[in-house]
Chain A
Amino acid sequence: MAQMTMIQAITDALRTELKNDENVLVFGEDVGQNGGVFRATEGLQKEFGEDRVFDTPLAESAIGGLSIGLALQGFRPVPEIQFFGFVYEAMDSINGQMARIRYRSGDTRHAPITIRSPFGGGVHTPELHADSLEGLIAQQPGIKVVIPSTPKDAKGLLISAIRDNDPVMFLEHMKLYRSFRDEVPEEEYTIELGKADVKREGKDVTIISYGAMVHSALKAAEDLEKNNVEAEVIDLRTVSPIDIDTILESVQKTNRVVFVQEAQRQAGVAAHVISEIQERAILHLEAPILRVTAPDTVYSFSQAEEVWLPNHKDIVEKVNEVINF
């Protein structure tokens, strides 16, 4: 075991897979000699050479196209999109192309591509850096969307993502990159994609979340405990596909649910998950499922993040509403 930040765990996972599989290629804007704008690929080009870890011209759409072409030659591309707000430039290559290639070729071609991209608020980034756009990709059949919240999850999930033979969008919350350290096994390990994780057990209410909001939910759970409310916190880890089994098990125990996402109310994946729960477990519910989200405006100007982003107090408030329904 070693103490690692999430960014170190990500670098460690990339190093592990570059070592394990000569087909793994890491590329993007400034990921080579510079080691990435967040140092996620630090030292990798030096260790594995420019043939394996390389910079590209500044064009996200072609980074997507390049990945598809390399996949067609048997490589396992791990491209980076510098900030997820720039995904709009690559939307066709991701949703219109790589997510569909296995299907459109009748299972004769596939795209084992893992796109890494940072996102998320709370660090006062300029425009279109922090936006939560996971909902856009989660609506596209053919691609999985993974969002880790801890260093340990990040490493195991990224190794699984890279080994997956279909495209995976791996979203890294910027605020979580270096905010804390955690025990991370030094050896290689995997965490199955599509599996949620109960980060805290409780019997009174289920708080479902992902990304940075998992930590807000855990903080809220501590506050709630003081008032004798035992909250169970589920970290989705994969937001597409959803781990319905883990959610249902919890809902049947607590009979109350609050869904927490950083994305705006009309975005993210809350509505989808809530719909699944009501279809499958409405008779277990003692109260409506409520959502904690950002307001339906464009992502806030950086100075307004504090009042705009959902936080643990918002969660406590909604949980109390659900408990007292």
Chain B
Amino acid sequence: MKHVLESVESQFEMFQILDENGKVVNKDAMPDLSDDNLKELMRRMVYTRILDQRSMALNRQGRLGFYAPTAGQEASQLGSHFALETEDFVLPGYRDVPQLIWHGLPLYQAFLFSKGHFHGNQMPEGVNALSPQIIIGAQYTQTAGVALGMKKRGKKSVAITYTGDGGTSQGDFYEGINFAGAFGAPAIFVVQNNYFAISVPVEKQTKAKTLAQKAVAAGIEGIQVDGMDVLAVYAATKNARERAINSEGPTLIETLTYRYGPHTTAGDDPTRYRTEELDNEWEKKDPLVRFRKFLEGKNLWSEEEENKVIEEAKDDIKQAIKKADGYPKQKVTELISHMFEELPMNLEEQMEEYKEKESK
């Protein structure tokens, strides 16, 4: 038995391109990205780091509601998203708002999602995505369906979804990857392993040495990636996408990453379950630090450029929160009208009742 485990685990060694110092350690795997692309990747990561800082602050001021911090996961979230095309469909988890924003969801709507307003979930026409999924695992089985739908339509696109390390314990996680495998559907399943599901360390989720090896149960490709290395995450996703649109089926990608903040802003205190040493260790692996070093080495990035992005982000956020704050309040009649195409009799009655209340 031991022999089997070791030989399985040896198939899932961490894929890395940039080390902590921004040095290329795997030249052959270097993705084909133009200088502009590289800069755009950095711009998005910096912007998203600022978005996280501002979101935390806005949440503390009571101007945002539900918020799941993203700092530390920029390479994992944005490197994978950068490998997508507009026609690809994104099924995010609750921490995956940044991917939605870069896929086309306006920032003020992301804020409305946080505040609990239906307009935050109204994807603009052409933005192929669902709003963040709260039920951990549900996005995985739905992704198998979207991907099968694309295959049936003959589209050259993929469905991509995200969950965390804890989410790999759910039944829907296994069912989702297994269905996609059985149907040969063009799906990319990303597991963002930040080592903790709220307070529970990944060792308590499973005895498996890697999460990527769970792909074996579905008979699909699996890869473990350094989730703090944006080039590695991009390359792995790009590869999975190419395989998917060439009818080679789905891929499971595990990104090894870390959230510097709490699980959510709803009262979670990470000092109860994480040590300072651990935090420090992961800060050394910061995806922004290493990619900044890499770009500076190529003369593609400067402090000036970074500050410009920071200012731009802060301005956008200011405008967006203003717009979100000023957005019309929800009415019960609106909620009723979003239930069905044609209202059943009970809702028709209740619609009249609330119309009257709202007119007073």
Contact = CB atoms under 8 A, between A and B. Distances in A.
Chains A and B are bound partners:
yes
Interface of A: 51, 56-57, 59, 61-62, 64-75, 92-93, 96-97, 102-110, 141-142, 144, 164-166, 194, 241-245
Given A70-B146, A70-B152, 13 more contacts: A57-B179, A62-B175, A65-B142, A66-B142, A71-B145, A104-B131, A107-B337, A107-B338, A164-B341, A165-B341, A241-B347, A242-B345, A243-B345
Given A73-B152, A103-B339, A68 B344 contact: no
Contact of B335 (A51, A97, A103, A244): A103
Interface residues of B, number: 41
A69 B135 contact: no
A319 B69 CA distance: 62
Contact of B176 (A62, A67, A74, A103): A62
B293 interface: no
B339 A65 contact: no
Contacts of B158: none
A75 B144 contact: no
Nearest to B335: A103
B192 to A, nearest CB: 20
Contact of B172 (A62, A105, A108): A62
Contacts of B150: 73
B210 to A, nearest CB: 23
B338 A65 contact: no
A150 B148 CA distance: 35
6 contacts: A57-B179, A62-B176, A73-B149, A96-B138, A102-B339, A106-B122
B140 A73 contact: no
B89 to A, nearest CB: 7
A96 B135 contact: yes
A194 B179 contact: no
A244 B345 contact: yes
Interface in B245-302: none
Nearest to A64: B141
A66 B172 contact: no
A72 B146 contact: yes
Nearest to B146: A69
B331 to A, nearest CB: 13
Contacts of B145: 65-73
A68 B172 CA distance: 14
Interface centre among A51, A105, A165, by most chain B C-beta atoms within 10 angstroms, is A105
A65 B130 contact: no
Interface string B320-343: 000000000000000101111100
B339 A142 contact: yes
B149 A241 contact: no
Contacts of A107: 122, 337-338
Where chain B touches its partner, the secondary structure class is helix
B153 A73 contact: yes
A221 to B, nearest CB: 27
B144 A62 contact: yes
Given A66-B145, A66-B179, A97-B135, A106 B341 contact: no
Contacts of B209: none
A144 B179 contact: no
Given A69-B144, A73-B152, A105 B171 contact: no
Contacts of A93: 138, 141
B147 interface: yes
Contacts of A74: 149, 153
B130 A109 contact: yes
Nearest to B175: A62
B123 interface: yes
B150 to A, nearest CB: 6
- A70, A144, A165 pick with most chain B CB within 10 angstroms: A70
A165 B342 CA distance: 9
B119 interface: yes
B344 A194 contact: yes
B289 to A, nearest CB: 38
Contacts of A67: 145
Contact of A66 (B131, B144, B338, B345): B144
A14 B338 CA distance: 28
A142 B146 CA distance: 21
Contacts of B135: 92, 96-97
A65 B340 contact: no
A110 B339 CA distance: 10
A270 B225 CA distance: 55
Interface in B76-134: 89, 118-119, 121-123, 130-131
Contacts of A75: 149, 152
A141 B346 CA distance: 11
